[in-house]
Structure 1
Amino acid sequence: MTRLQTRFGAPLALALVGALTLSACGERSKPAETEGHAAPSAGKEAGDYERGPHRGRMLRDGDFALEVTIFEDGVEPEFHVYAYRKDKPIPPKDLQLSIELSRLDGEVNRFAFAPVEDYLRGGGVVHEPHSFDVKVSATHQDQVHRWAYATYEGRTGFSAAAAQAGGVRTEIAGAAPIAERVDMAGRVEITPEGKGEVRAWYPGRITSLRGELGNAVRKGQVLARVESSESLQTYSIPAPISGVIVEKNLNVGDVAGERAIFVIADPTKLHAEFLVYPRDAEKVRVGQPVEVRSLSGAAELMAKVEAVLPTADLVSQTLVAHVHLPEGAASAFRPGMGVEGAFQVGVRTAPLAVRTKAIQRFRDFQVVFVKVRDTYEFRMLELGRQTPEWTEVLSGLKPGSEYVTDGAFLIRADIEKSGASHDH
C-alpha cells in the first residue's frame, strides 16, 4: 500500500490528499513465497500484473503457474482457478489448492477447491468488498507452491490529525430505534381559534368602516359603526381578535344583518389538516409526532397530532387529522400551502442500524466507510427501514464496526480519485 505524505497545514483538501494512503483492487502484488522455486518475474510497474487467458491474475513458480479469477457472471462471486505447466493446461483433478483471504478487520476466509470441467472452483462466496491480503497454496506432483499478494479496493488511509481536521467523525454500529412512519398529504389552515368575524349586533345601516383588506388590527379596535334599524341608536363594533383582515363583505351604507362585515385571521395560529385513508386510520393517534415538510422540502418542523375528526368523507372514506403548528411556523408555512407529513405511528428496535447521514453512494452501491486504525474501507449495505436519523442494516456490516458518520464524502471522493478499481 503506497503512502503519500505531506505536511498538514495547507488548505484542507490538499492536506487530506497528502495524508491519504491509497489502495486499489489489484494494485500491488507481493513477491511470491515458494518452497524452493523461482519467484515470479520482476520488473512490472506497481498496480500491474500478468493476466492469463481468462483475464485472471497469473501466479508463476518456475514452469508451474496458476490463473486466479473471481467469477461473478450471473452468480455470487466465487473463485475459478486454472492451472498450467509450461503454459499448458493441467487437469484440475491433479491439483490440490487452498486460498486464504485476510481482511482489514482481521476476518480470515479460507477456501477449499474442487475440480469442475477445466478449472478448480472455490467452495463459498467471495464476499464484497474484494479487498484483502491473499495467500495461495497449491500442490502438484508432490511439489508445494505458495504465493502471497495484496489486492485492495475502496480503501484509503490517513492520520488521526488529518481526519480530525477534515471533520471525520465515527460511531460504533449497533441496535437503534427505528420509527415506523406513514406519509400523508395535507394543507396548512388557520385554526378555528385563529379566525374572528365582525358582525352587526343588531340589524342596521353601516355608517362608517375603519379597515381594508390586508390591514393588521388589534383586539378591541373599533372597525365599524352601525345605526340600529329599531332604536336608531348608533353603536360601535370592535375586532374580536388581533390579526389581519382577510375578508371585507360590506361597505358604508349597506344594511348589516346576518353577513359578516369583516373576517379577521391570526396567521400565527396554524394547523395542518391531513387526509387519513382507511388503511392508516387505525394507526394514527392523538399525540403522535409528525414531521411536517413543505412540498419544496425547504422547510420542515416537528409537530404533534392534536385531533382526529371522527367523521369520514362519504366518497373517499378519509378522516381528517389536525396537526398543531407552533407559532414560529408562520415564517415558513402559510395558510393554503400544501404540505407533506410523516406520522410516527410506532417504534421498533433494529438489531443493526447506522446514521442515515453516514450512507454514501459509491459506484452503484449504498455504502458506509468502516475505520480500522488509520485505514478506511467501504462496506456495501443491504438496507431496511429508514428515517432521517437512522437506517436499518440487513447485511453488509458487522455489529460493533466503527463507521464514519461525518466527513464520509471526503473519504469517498479520495477513493474515487485514486481510481480504486473492482478488478481481479
Structure 2
Amino acid sequence: MKFLSQLTQSSPIKYRNQAIAVGIVLVVGVILAIAILFTNKSGTKAEEHDEAGHANEHAEHAKERSEEPATDQKGPHGGRLLKQGTYALEVAIFEVDSAPVFRLYPYQNGKALPPKSSEVTVLVQRLGQEVQTYLLKAEQDYLTSTKELEEPHSFEVKIKAIFDQKTYDFQYEQIEGRVQMSEQQRKHNGIETQVAGPMLLQSTMSLLGEIRLNADNTVHVVPRLTGLVERVLVNAGDKVKQGQVLAIISSQLLADQRGEVLAAQKRFVLAKKSFEREKKLWEEKISAEQDYLAAQNALQEAEITRQSAEQKLAALGANSPLSATGGSLTRLEIRSPINGTITEKNIAMGQVLKEDATIFTVTNLDTVWVEAVIPAKELGQIKVGQKATISATAFEASTTGKVSYVGSVVGDQTLSAMARLVVSNAKGMWYPGLPVNLVVQSAAVNTPVVVASEAIQSVNEVSSVFIKVGDQFEVRPVELGRTNGKFTEVIKGLLAGETYVSKNSFLMKAELGKSSVGHDD
C-alpha cells in the first residue's frame, strides 16, 4: 500500500489507473479463494453422505442374503445344507438297503438339534404332476419321511419348518434325467407323442419252447423176458401198424413157460375125463360119493393150474404153444402195441436182451406236445385253455394250439414252471426236439394305463418312458404288466392323461446319455 501511495504521489494520473487494476485483481482473488474453500467443504459433506448411504445399502443386502436359504453347501451327512439365519436343515435322500426316503437333520448355530424340536413338512413338485406332501417323523438323530420317495428323484422341493415358534421356508431344485427339445427339433427327428390312457388289451406273452413226443401216445416196447435176438424187422422212422411183428427173439424161459402150459392143459384134459367117469359111476351108484368128490376137486385144481399157466404166457406177450412160430417153443414175436412210428430202436441181431430193456419206442405222431418254461413271476398270466401261436425257428411254419397243462410246482433252481400245449401234426412237419417260439394270448381285459410298446426304453437297466411337459422331457421309470406286442400295460409310474414319447424314444435316450445323470442327494 505504501508502494501504491508512492506511485500515486509521484505520478497521479499514470499510476492511479494501475493501482485500481491491481486492487480489483486482489479482490477477485480473495473472492475466488473463499468460494473454492466453501465448495470443498460442501463436496466433502456430500461424499461422506454418499459413502454412508452405500454402506447402509450393502448392510441391508448382506442382511437379506443371510435370510435366504443357501443351497450350495453340504452337511456333515453328505446332504444338501439349507440355512436361514441361525437355523439350518440338512436334506438327504436315504436308500441304502431300503426304499428311498427323505432324511432331514436340523441345526442351530451349527450344532445339531434333537429331531423332535422341529416340525417339518416337505412338498415335492414333479414335472407335470400334482404336488406331493411328505410328513416327517423323528428317528434317532434325524427326521424321516413316512412314505417312500418314488423315482424319478427329479423335482422342486419346498420345505416348511417350525422351530422355537418361528417358521422357516426353504426351497431347491433337483433335476435329473431331463431333456429339452423344441417342436422343430422333434419334427426333424420324427419324434411323436401320445397320451397314456385305458385300452381293452388282449395281452400276449412270448416264450421259447420245444416240440416233444406226446407221452400219452408213446409206448416203450420191452421183451419181458431174457432172450437172444434172432431177427429185427423194422428200423427207426418206420411206420408200423398195431400187432405188426417188430422182432423175433429166442428164449429158453419162454420154452419152459410154454411147456408148463402144455402140461397143465393135458392134466386138465385127464382130470376132466376122470371126473366125468366118476360122476357117471356115482350116478349109477356103482362108486362111492367120496370118489366122485375127489375127482371133482382134482378137475378144479387142474383148471386153475391151466389158467394160471396160460395167463403167465399171455403176460409175456407170447401166443399159444400150439401156434408157436415154426413150431418152436423158444421163439417169441415182439409186436407193435399201437399204430405209430418207431421213434427209438435199441436192438440188434445176436444181442442178448434183459427182460426190462427198452428195445423200441413207438409213438403216434398225429399229435405232439409243445413244452415251454414259464418264469414264476409270469405264471399268473398263463391259464389252461389259452390260445397260442407256435412258430418254427428253423423254417417257415406256424400253427395254433391251446394250453392243456400248467405245472403246479416251481423249480428250486430255475424258479420256473412248465406249460404244455397239444398240437396237431397230421402233416408230420413238427419234429420232436425242434425249438419253437410261442405267443400266448390271454382274454381281453380293460386296462387303465397303456403305452405303445416301442415307447419303452431301458434306462439304467430299468424299463422307462419319456414324459412330455411343454418342451421338456423327463425319463420316468415304470412297472410293466401285460402286453400284446404293440401296446403294453403300465402298472406303476405313469398316470392316465400324461403325454409320453411314443415313437423314436431311443433318440431321447441318446440325448439323455450325452449328459451325466445322477441323484443330487
Which of 427, 431, 443 pairs up with 1:347? 443
Q: Which amino acid aligns with 1:66?
A: L
**How much has 1:378 moved relative to structure 2?**
1.4
Please state if 1:423 is matched with 2:520. Answer: yes
Equivalent position of 1:391 in the other structure? 488
User: For residues 215-235 of structure 1, what are the alpha-carbon distances to aligned partners after superposition, in whole Å with 9 as ceiling and x for unaligned?
Assistant: xxxxxxxxxxxxxxxxxxxxx
Q: Which amino acid aligns with 1:321?
A: S
**How much has 1:361 moved relative to structure 2?**
0.9
Mapped partners of 2:116, 2:161: distance in 1: 12
Please state if 1:403 is matched with 2:500. Answer: yes
Q: Count matched residues.
A: 278
Equivalent position of 1:64 in the other structure? 87
After TM superposition, the score normalised by the length of structure 1 is 0.57
Equivalent position of 2:68 in the other structure? 39
User: For residues 106-144 of structure 1, what are the alpha-carbon distances to aligned partners after superposition, in whole Å with 9 as ceiling and x for unaligned?
Assistant: 310112222222111223221111111111111222222
Mapped partners of 1:300, 1:369: distance in 2: 37
Q: Which amino acid aligns with 2:391?
A: V
Change (3 A) 1:278 1:137: closer
SS in 2 for 1:54: coil
Equivalent position of 2:510 in the other structure? 413
Q: Which amino acid aligns with 2:385?
A: K
Change (3 A) 1:108 1:122: same
Equivalent position of 1:305 in the other structure? 400
Q: How do residues 4-403 of structure 1 correspond to structure 2 at under 5 angstroms?
A: 38-40=67-69, 49-176=72-199, 177-181=201-205, 183=207, 184-186=209-211, 275-276=369-370, 283=385, 290=389, 292=391, 294=393, 305=400, 319-321=422-424, 338=434, 340-349=436-445, 350-403=447-500
Is the helix fraction higher in 1 or 2?
2
User: For residues 181-231 of structure 1, what are the alpha-carbon distances to aligned partners after superposition, in whole Å with 9 as ceiling and x for unaligned?
Assistant: 4744359xxxxxxxxxxxxxxxxxxxxxxxxxxxxxxxxxxxxxxxxxxxx
**How much has 1:57 moved relative to structure 2?**
0.3
After TM superposition, the score normalised by the length of structure 2 is 0.47
Equivalent position of 2:301 in the other structure? none
Aligned-pair Cα RMSD in Å: 3.7
User: For residues 317-354 of structure 1, what are the alpha-carbon distances to aligned partners after superposition, in whole Å with 9 as ceiling and x for unaligned?
Assistant: 97433599xxxxxxxx9999955232444333233222
Contact 1:138 1:144 (C-alpha < 8 Å) held by counterparts: yes
Mapped partners of 2:517, 2:142: distance in 1: 28
User: For residues 331-386 of structure 1, what are the alpha-carbon distances to aligned partners after superposition, in whole Å with 9 as ceiling and x for unaligned?
Assistant: xx999995523244433323322222211111131111111121111111122233
Contact 1:58 1:67 (C-alpha < 8 Å) held by counterparts: yes
Mapped partners of 2:443, 2:396: distance in 1: 21
Contact 1:72 1:78 (C-alpha < 8 Å) held by counterparts: yes
SS in 1 for 2:122: strand
Change (3 A) 1:395 1:292: same
Change (3 A) 1:278 1:186: closer
Unaligned 5+ segments in structure 1 are 1-33, 42-47, 188-272, 309-316, 325-332
Contact 1:307 1:323 (C-alpha < 8 Å) held by counterparts: no
Contact 2:210 2:434 (C-alpha < 8 Å) held by counterparts: yes
Mapped partners of 1:100, 1:145: distance in 2: 14
Mapped partners of 1:414, 1:300: distance in 2: 39
Mapped partners of 1:375, 1:98: distance in 2: 28
Q: Which amino acid aligns with 1:126?
A: L
Equivalent position of 1:45 in the other structure? none
SS in 2 for 1:165: helix
SS in 1 for 2:442: strand
Q: Which amino acid aligns with 2:210?
A: A
Mapped partners of 1:356, 1:114: distance in 2: 41
Structure 1 runs of 4+ with >6 Å offset: 278-281, 333-337
Task: State the percentage of identical aligned residues.
Answer: 30
Contact 1:306 1:322 (C-alpha < 8 Å) held by counterparts: no
SS in 2 for 1:105: coil
Mapped partners of 2:143, 2:73: distance in 1: 20
**How much has 1:55 moved relative to structure 2?**
0.7
Change (3 A) 1:413 1:71: same
Computing the radius of gyration over CA atoms, which structure comes out larger, 1 or 2?
2
Change (3 A) 1:354 1:322: farther
Mapped partners of 2:149, 2:96: distance in 1: 13
Unaligned 5+ segments in structure 2 are 1-62, 213-366, 374-381, 404-419
Deviating more after overlay: 403-412 vs 167-176:
167-176
Change (3 A) 1:167 1:318: closer
Mapped partners of 2:161, 2:155: distance in 1: 19
Mapped partners of 2:435, 2:192: distance in 1: 34
Contact 1:35 1:145 (C-alpha < 8 Å) held by counterparts: no
Equivalent position of 2:219 in the other structure? none
**How much has 1:307 moved relative to structure 2?**
11
Change (3 A) 1:180 1:62: same
Mapped partners of 2:383, 2:95: distance in 1: 47
SS in 2 for 1:418: coil
